[in-house]
Structure 1
């Protein structure tokens, strides 16, 4: 193995405090990079408990709820302190906003951007105003311009980074998302998982975990269950997650008279998530737009549960090598409903549990992905 590198990882939140895909990936890399010869120190917005919960590796520069100017000032102060203690060999940024305060702090030290998604565009889709969109896009452009390497989760996001942000293709490296696959390989059978979760054993169950916001396609998914119910009158969809769209989803469930067919499970604790995946015949990711990878796809596969995805962004790249039948034809509710019925009735060739787990383990386990990330860091350092 090459000589160890010292890295500074600038994240958004610590996963245990603000669960989200970016934060989960950040935590996974913080925990797995040292085994690949990359020492880690990290900065995030969070509580004083972050340092303890991360094993003394990541510190919170300010509370996530502090005013913006306080967070930015404290991020700069902490980055200066970390540099005085020991300058890193590489600075890896996972969230553009908190990278801004470090401008000028690390001089010529190579920077690697982990592009988890178009922050400005995601905010616009979720209802932020035009001024907010313009400011966020300007921040992203400034941060990405000064990086020597850019890690994206999929070819789709690589093209977006190149065309919308002007990042040269030569600096972009595709490294997929990762999970701790062993954690999702639970011992319980599907029937045992359902018993523990109070789910019926005599109905086909579909599981979906998403943040409850418009771009996730959850309203279309509920309409799709209305379609699917015509052929499968006992189908049950469980949607896990929280978000501002919850009242609208409840209204749609009532309007479609699907109260006995769609269950909103609310927030699912991280430790219970493998059981929820295991309990279902299949899971589904019905995203409408701006999906670079879809970490939940790999979580589901790691639990041995096949996952249907819409043909959006990097979702097909994540699952099509396992089976093209996991990719639905379109984002429309009619297509989703038909795909659900075909999958549950065996008209789509879904991989079995063993194939799902082998695929997740060999391609997306965090040790496999961390090795690829470490190689990009070394490349950036070698370039200088």
Structure 2
């Protein structure tokens, strides 16, 4: 009885031991499958599952996927045109010149002797033409002649309009003023003599000699002076103020006018022998050639020490900012990541020159090509806000500016 109980107890202990061994084998198989599953997971998921992202960045070992998460575009800008101004004031000098209004008598037409007659069987009218080059400068246009033979009533028409009709008693006829409103660039004068009426056996006749048409002509070439100066696009684009300065030496003071590009700046009698200063509105000036005109309606001047002086506005600093986290900074210091600065310019085959400053650390740019790439040293960077300043040494047409954090 006792031995039988002992055998039963022994069998139960053996079954328990066997069950424990089987459970251990099953647990080992499950553990092996879990390890294999983890090993075949993508690296970034495996690192997240095991919580190894921080340690892999610090060690620089197999945790490249964690570094990849820190890659970023830290800065992207489209700056456009960045001007370089060597001077903040410019002086454009204009040569001195004389202005005067001069009027001289000129002969517009001289005619050889002409004869006009009117009889029953013989009638003759005479037409002569003359030219007026510039009606605006012609004043006091006169017709003068002598009549050595004068019989009947003389009629004179200007461009079809009667301007004289009278019996002439003296050989020296007083000058006849030609109405300026009737004048044209090309004019006709018609001479005729009146009818004999019932006295059919007679003939009225005039012999006209020394016929002249004269006029007082104003010489505008000395009344106006045109001068040109050039302004660069940089000066015009950054213009703040501009002034026209001149000293008039008045020989015979009259009204003086000054204009730039057909915009009148001054009109009046100037202060003589002292510096006259006139402010120029910004819209009067243009990049390239600018036309300065002085003219006088009357009087005579020597215009001296003429300048156009400009003041340019102060250019603002060209500064951009980007942020860097502690992990990103650590990755650059461990040489897992690098910060690349890229500038893309307009491809104009012109020299691009500038000073570039990252957190006060200086480097330079000088090239003709359209693309500039520079790796920013890790020791120039800092956690938090970083500043990037561009100091142009030539005018830059900067299309894009990028700072990117990328794996080496």
State TM-score, norm by structure 2: 0.18
Q: Higher RCO, 1 or 2 (CA under 8 Å, sep at least 6)?
A: 2
**Could you say which structure has the larger radius of gyration?**
2
Q: Going by fraction, where is helix more abundant, 1 or 2?
A: 1
